[in-house]
Structure 1
């Protein structure tokens, strides 16, 4: 698998299980690109929803994608600390020709606050789409197993939740921006 070069630009595209485009982040900078991990950053970037509606992100964000795990993690730098938004999703695929990172969004999200407390979100949306899009039972088991891994990372301060991770990558982003 090909990976993007640090300093290059990429689009982030999320899809739904049925193949429908869900959301696009237009302009992110690659901070680290390997076959197993891509770390990107953006600030006030345009986001386009599947219905064509667009909006701008409000703060700098460090985006962590892992080819082995069924989640991705967005660390948003806000005045009151780092807030995280975690999507339960397929592992990423990098499309070199389109300069885009792609994944399937599986509805469940975890919102993590600066004090590392967290909430599981969108369980109702997950249950609805699980039936509507016919998620295989295997996907259901993988997602809930990966949710346990994600919660372990949060509680143990691993990966993007480790002290300094988001701040250090944000400093790297500033060298490109």
Structure 2
């Protein structure tokens, strides 16, 4: 598998299970790009919603994508600490156009004190029925929620102390 070059500017595309585009993040700078992991940084970038709305992110963020995990994370750097928004979704793919994954609705918001909240369970139930998620996807996602919570508790991967700060320092070198 090829992968994006460090320092290059890429887009991130999320899709829904039915194959339709969900959201596009523009202008993420690749800080690490391998066949297994992509780490990117961005700040106040344009986000396009599938319904045509546009908005800008409010703060610098470090994004972590794993080719083997059914989740990705966004570490948002705010004045009162680092907040994480974790999307439960398929492992990423890279096709020269963008980092792509399927968003499966469930999210976990992690606060600076590492407490967290599972979000959008109702949306997951609705879309699961509407788009007929196979039972195997349900099993994978429930296991992935548990794995993600374990990573949060263990301060593993993108939740490790100084992970976001260190990658943010690299991001600043490319701006």
* Structures share fold, TM-score greater than 0.5: yes
SS in 1 for 2:170: helix
- In the alignment, the residues of structure 2 paired with residue 22 and residue 102 of structure 1 have an alpha-carbon distance, to the nearest angstrom, of 11
Q: Compute the displacement of 1:26 (Å).
A: 1.0
Q: How well do the aligned residues superpose, as a CA RMSD in angstroms? A: 0.4
2:136 to 135, 138, 147: 138
Query: For structure 2, which runs of at least 5 residues remain unmatched after alignment?
Result: none
Counterpart Cα distance in 1 of 2:19 and 2:125: 18
Q: Please, what TM-score do these two structures have when normalized by structure 1?
A: 0.98
Equivalence for 1:12: 12
| In 1: Cα distance, 2:138 partner to 2:36 partner | 23
Aligned to 1:84: 84
**CA distance in structure 2 between the aligned counterparts of 1:26 and 1:91, rounded to whole angstroms:** 19
What's the CA shift for 1:160?
Answer: 0.5
Cα deviation code 1:43-85 (max 9, x no counterpart):
0000000011100000000000000000000000000000000
Q: In structure 2, what is the Cα distance between the partners aligned to 1:102 and 1:84?
A: 19
Aligned to 1:50: 50
Q: 2:166 aligns with which of 160, 168, 173?
A: 168
Provide the aligned length of Structure 1 versus Structure 2: 175
